[in-house]
Amino acid sequence: MNALIIFTVRLILGLAFGIILIRLFRPEWGIYHGAGAGLILVALAYGMSFFRKPKD
């Protein structure tokens, strides 16, 4: 798949899961905290894929 499509899917899913997780565990926090958590999840996904790929 195209790298832009993969980024878009990861971004949408990361933001959705980040918002859901924050609303579950910290309901008093706002939507911006959830979006921040989602961005952290996306960054962690890219970081783990970087370290998982074998080096040439």
**Spans of all domains in the chain:** 3-51
- Read off φ and ψ for residue 45, nearest 5 degrees: -65, -45
d(CA 10, CA 54): 21
- On the CB side of 44, CA atoms within 13 Å amount to 10
Q: What is the pLDDT of residues 10-38, one digit of tens each?
A: 999 999 999 999 999 999 999 999 999 99
Residues 6+ apart with CB under 8 A from 26: 33
pTM: 0.79
Q: What is the mean pLDDT of residues 30-50?
A: 92
The reported pLDDT for the residue numbered 49 is 86
Type and span of the H or E element at 30: none
